[in-house]
């Protein structure tokens, strides 16, 4: 009953949050035209299909302990489960790579990376996911697994175990280890650029505080607090993205690999819990990559104001520390050297990309 309740909660949150992401992208043309917007639509649409079509059958298996009665239904759900799980992991890796390109190479990214390139990335992800799920379906390795309470990969008879073990290891190497490696490497690069950005902002803020000697102490204190928060913001967001990926996928992958060992029997409660953790990724990703970020918050606020027929109040897009930094830029303005024009434009684009990701 506890696992069923957990699954119901994950299902409800996944349906609502992913529907909100798709609604925001449909409402805002700016979100749709970005390469990251195309990747987010793909990720949210996959999660929505997982919550609407796959999770109810798993809930039925957890509550009643049996496979769907319709002929071929479990194989179809297993195909969808394998495809969507692999596609979700690869989409997260593509989003991380897109963020690294946006932050690390802002000028090239703005000029070259259009939604069609995001479509190319999605084509690769779909191709790999379809290849693995199609191979599992062709080998009749999809069906109801009592250890996981769901329609997914199931252990075949003993003569086919070596082939199944090789397939499972390859599936998780390409669908878990590879996306995790891409996520970690690109996140480290983004963190390096974000730290450099914070150092520049800290320098400007400190110069502003020195020049504006008559600044009110409360404003000065608020600037210092914002400066401290800015240092930890990128680390916190990157850590959350990697932690959710590991927490949601690692237990299921390890359990699937342990299942291949002849003398290990997977406990049904643990197997269902690990499956619920993979489903929880569908509920966590909309908040990790979309709804808690500024562009989506602004779109949601605009939708609410339009629904209530209210005029939104003009809100400042910068905090007080950035306002002080802006004043310092005016006070410290110098005529740029011609050789530094490219670097200054690169830093400006870099800062704007970092602000969008926040």
Res 168: pLDDT: 93
For 153-208, the pLDDT digits (tens) are: 988 888 889 999 999 999 999 999 999 999 999 988 888 887 777 777 767 766 66
Res 306: pLDDT: 84
For 61-116, the pLDDT digits (tens) are: 888 766 666 668 888 999 999 999 999 999 999 888 888 887 777 766 664 556 67
Res 61: pLDDT: 81
Res 282: pLDDT: 93
Within 8 A by CB and 6+ apart from 245, the residues are 89, 92, 179, 180, 183, 281
Q: Where does residue 144 rank: exposed (0-12), middle (13-18), buried (19+ CB within 10 A)?
A: buried
Within 8 A by CB and 6+ apart from 348, the residues are none
Entry pTM: 0.78
Res 127: pLDDT: 93
Neighbouring-strand partners of residue 153: 142
Q: Please check the confidence at residue 331 and state whether its pLDDT lies above 50.
A: no
Query: How many domains is the chain partitioned into structurally?
Result: 1
The residue ranges of DSSP E strands in the chain, in sequence order, are 142-145, 150-153
CA 157 to chain centre: 37
Determine the Cα–Cα distance for residues 223 and 218; give it in Å rounded to an integer.
9
Closest CA to 89 of 246, 262, 251: 246
Cα-flanking dihedrals φ and ψ of residue 281, to 5°? -65, -35
Q: Domain range for residue 48?
A: 2-357
Block residue for tokens 């071929």: 72
Res 311: pLDDT: 63
pLDDT-based confidence at residue 328 (cuts at 50, 70, 90): very low
Q: Where does residue 337 rank: exposed (0-12), middle (13-18), buried (19+ CB within 10 A)?
A: exposed
Q: What is the CATH number of the domain that holds 304?
A: 1.20.1070.10
Res 202: pLDDT: 66
For 227-248, the pLDDT digits (tens) are: 667 667 778 888 898 999 999 9
Res 117: pLDDT: 75
């Amino acid at each position: 009953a506890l696992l069923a309740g957990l699954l119901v909660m994950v299902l409800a949150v996944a349906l609502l949050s992913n529907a909100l992401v798709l609604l925001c992208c449909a409402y805002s043309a700016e979100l749709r035209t970005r390469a990251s917007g195309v990747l987010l639509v793909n990720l949210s649409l996959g999660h929505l299909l997982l919550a609407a079509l796959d999770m109810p059958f798993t809930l039925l298996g957890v509550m009643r302990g049996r496979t769907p009665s319709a002929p071929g239904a479990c194989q179809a759900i297993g195909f969808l489960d394998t495809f969507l799980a692999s596609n979700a992991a690869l989409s997260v890796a593509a989003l991380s790579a897109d963020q690294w390109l946006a932050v690390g190479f802002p000028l090239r990214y703005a000029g070259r990376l259009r939604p069609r390139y995001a479509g190319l990335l999605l084509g690769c992800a779909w191709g790999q996911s379809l290849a693995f799920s199609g191979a599992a379906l062709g080998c009749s390795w999809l069906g109801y697994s009592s250890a996981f309470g769901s329609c997914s990969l199931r252990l075949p008879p003993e003569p086919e175990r070596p082939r199944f073990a090789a397939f499972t290891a390859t599936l998780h190497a390409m669908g878990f280890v590879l996306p995790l490696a891409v996520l970690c490497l690109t996140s480290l690069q983004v963190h390096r650029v974000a730290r450099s950005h914070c150092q520049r902002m800290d320098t400007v803020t400190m110069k502003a505080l020195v020049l504006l000697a008559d600044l009110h102490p409360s404003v000065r204190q608020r600037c210092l607090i914002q400066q401290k928060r800015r240092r930890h913001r990128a680390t916190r967001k990157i850590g959350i993205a990697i932690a959710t990926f590991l927490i949601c996928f690692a237990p299921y992958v390890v359990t699937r690999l342990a299942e291949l060992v002849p003398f290990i029997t997977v406990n049904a409660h643990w197997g269902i819990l690990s499956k619920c953790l993979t489903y929880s990724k569908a509920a966590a990703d909309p908040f990790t990559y979309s709804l808690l970020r500024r562009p989506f918050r602004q779109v949601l606020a605009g939708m609410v104001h339009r629904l209530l027929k209210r005029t939104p109040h003009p809100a400042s897009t910068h905090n007080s520390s950035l306002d002080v930094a802006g004043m310092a830029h005016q006070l410290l303005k110098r005529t740029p050297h011609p050789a530094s024009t490219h670097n200054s434009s690169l830093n400006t684009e870099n800062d704007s990309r970092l602000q969008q990701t926040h």
